[in-house]
Structure 1
Amino acid sequence: MSLYPPVAMAQASTLLVSATLFTIMFALGLGLPGDGLRVVRQRWGLVLRVLVGSCLLVPLAALLLLKLPVSVALSPAARLAIGLMAVCPSAPLILRKAGNQGGDRQLAALLQGCAAVAAIVSVPLMADLYSSAFGLSGWDVGPAEVALQVGRVQILPLLAGLALRRWEPQLVGRIQGPLDRLANGLLLLLIVLVLIKTGPLLLPFVGRELLALALMAVMVLVALAIGLLLAGPQPRERTTVALVTSMRNPGLALLLATTYAPSQPSVKIAVLAYLLVTVLLSLPVLRWQQGQGAA
């Protein structure tokens, strides 16, 4: 009896996360044009640059950062969290931020979908590179685990939304608005619950891991800079690409942490801290970039 409430709460939290991500991606699929593949073919140069930046340059930048002498003082959990977040591209929450920060939501969806597919190959390769660089063992990350995660919570609902838009456009017109509101409500509820659950653990982490927070901030700025440099001159495109490269996939990072580092629960707290730093730092940077473009 004493074990039931924690187990039930964990199951409810997992269900809420899955429902939120599925609803966000499904709603996005309903709102996307049906010529996404044509856009990818027309903008293949931009897509290729974003994939290189998000799946290769950001993880390599983190690897170099973690090799610097200053990183020796990091705790193992913080070091592992920075590495995990760096190698995991394509975050579903990019889409909401792209719309709110003056970016191109449809372009963000296309780039995110491409990055999610590329992650099936890039994450295992980067995991092998990190394992060799730091002498880690037991990190045999395979494409199957990555494909299952990104396929279930990103690709599948996105394709379902696109299919429904193509075959039932009248139905989509009736449900798109309510579904968007539902997605926003679930996202807000998820954020509140995460803060309530992790707040007592995040505060001690912040107090004792100031160096880790500083290096996380450096990584976010580097990832934003990579996105801004890889994008074209158009302001909305620059904002969108910067978001795609800087926002990492905490869901996949937490999955890998649970699978390969179950004896280090503090890694999950560090991953959430990285996500928090990303959200707090990306907003003012992107607003400043938009102001520069307007000037």
Structure 2
Amino acid sequence: MAQAAALLVSATLFAIMFALGLSLAGDRLNLVRERPALFARVLLGTCVLVPLLALLLLKLPLSAALTPSARFAIALMAVCPSAPLALRKAGKATGSRQLASQLQVSAAVLAILSIPLLADVFTQTYGISGWDIGPKEVALQIGKAQLLPLACGMLLRRWWPGWAQRWEGLFDKLANGLLLLLIVAVLVKTGHQLVPFLSRSALALGFMAVMVVASLAIGHLLAGNDPEERTTTALVTSMRNPGLALLLASTYASGMAGLKLAILSYLLLTVLLSVPYLRWRKTLSLRGAS
């Protein structure tokens, strides 16, 4: 059962990133060179400011009442940027899928260095031992789950553009179907545990909600005045990488009760709290168009 779940997660992430690569036109992939200041600001926000915000929140006296699993979940999600879900949300909302993809890939590459450094900061701050996260472990996970399938899709788009355009829709539907299947599987497997966990974790949910809203605000404020860019950068900054967080949790804290449920709770809150933000951005976009 565990192997089947891991296979489903891997297949879903591969399909999402591969479908994205097929959809990316080559003439739109030079945004890093065109907008270096924007990329620098957003990467600073998602890879540095969001983790530092979590560190400050977890130093508040009120945080002493949090369970260890809640504290670890907030810290892990904060230090793990670059979530594939941000790309799909940007494409479906008023954001730019092209910009989101380049920001996400840039954050993934930067995370190879930022995650080990931030893990050291958190472990030294809280006196935790046994969390010797190295760049190699992070690079392998990010490369296999995100960069490799994205590169495969982009290369096919470049070498066989006609084939890519013809099959792009099918692979996008396949990715959507696998994502829906994964969500249903997670709810079936953890639903009986997740609901009781949420009902008795009001304080932890409050801290997570503050993190999500603040992350949205950081991304929104670090963007330029372009509405599309603001929506995109807010999503990229707030959407953390639950797959990497769960991998680190399984590797370094497999015996901690409730940690994976707390990570899933953070993900659920991120998705829910992004809805009103996206509706607000869509309303502003419609007003501007009228």
TM-score (norm 1): 0.95
Amino acid at match of 2:255: S
Residue 287 of structure 1: which of 274, 279, 283 is its match? 279
Q: Secondary structure at the match of 2:129?
A: coil
Gaps of 5+ in 1: 1-8
1:14 corresponds in structure 2 to 6
> Aligned pair 1:243/2:224, yes or no?
no
4+ residue stretches of structure 1 with deviation over 3 A? Answer: 292-295
Alignment check: 8 A CA contact 1:235 1:290 kept: no
Show CA shifts across 1:133-176 (max 9, x none).
11111111100110011100100011111111111112112211
1:4 corresponds in structure 2 to none
What RMSD in Å do the two structures reach over aligned CA positions? Answer: 1.1
Amino acid at match of 1:227: G
Give the Cα separation in 2 of the matches to 1:37 and 1:188: 29
> Aligned pair 1:113/2:131, yes or no?
no
Residue 267 of structure 1: which of 239, 259, 282 is its match? 259
Q: Secondary structure at the match of 1:128?
A: helix
**Displacement of 1:37 after TM fit?**
4.9
**Displacement of 1:292 after TM fit?**
4.3
Q: How does 1:53-72 map to 2 (within 5 A)?
A: 53-72=45-64
Give the Cα separation in 2 of the matches to 1:178 and 1:153: 20
Residue 191 of structure 2: which of 182, 185, 199 is its match? 199
Show CA shifts across 1:213-264 (max 9, x none).
0100000011000001001111111110000000000000001101110111
> Aligned pair 1:34/2:21, yes or no?
no
Alignment check: 8 A CA contact 1:36 1:110 kept: no
> Aligned pair 1:138/2:130, yes or no?
yes
Amino acid at match of 2:85: L
Give the Cα separation in 2 of the matches to 1:103 and 1:40: 17
1:185 corresponds in structure 2 to 177
Show CA shifts across 1:9-49 (max 9, x none).
21111111111110110110011021455221001111111
Show CA shifts across 1:78-135 (max 9, x none).
0000000000000011111111221111110010000000000000000000011111
Alignment check: 8 A CA contact 1:30 1:161 kept: yes
> Aligned pair 1:214/2:203, yes or no?
no
1:3 corresponds in structure 2 to none
Give the Cα separation in 2 of the matches to 1:174 and 1:281: 35
Give the Cα separation in 2 of the matches to 1:25 and 1:194: 20
Give the Cα separation in 2 of the matches to 1:12 and 1:157: 20
Matched pairs, number: 287
Q: Secondary structure at the match of 1:93?
A: helix
Give the Cα separation in 2 of the matches to 1:36 and 1:266: 43
Give the Cα separation in 2 of the matches to 1:27 and 1:137: 40
**Displacement of 1:204 after TM fit?**
1.3
Gaps of 5+ in 2: none
Amino acid at match of 1:139: W
Give the Cα separation in 2 of the matches to 1:41 and 1:255: 33
Q: Secondary structure at the match of 2:274?
A: helix
- % of aligned pairs identical? 64
Compared with structure 1, are the counterparts of its residues 36 and 149 closer, same or farther at alpha carbon in structure 2 (3 Å cutoff)?
farther
> Aligned pair 1:165/2:157, yes or no?
yes
Alignment check: 8 A CA contact 1:81 1:270 kept: yes
Show CA shifts across 1:255-285 (max 9, x none).
1101110111410010000000100011112
Q: Secondary structure at the match of 1:124?
A: helix
Compared with structure 1, are the counterparts of its residues 175 and 37 closer, same or farther at alpha carbon in structure 2 (3 Å cutoff)?
closer
Residue 81 of structure 1: which of 46, 70, 73 is its match? 73
> Aligned pair 1:95/2:87, yes or no?
yes
Amino acid at match of 1:116: A
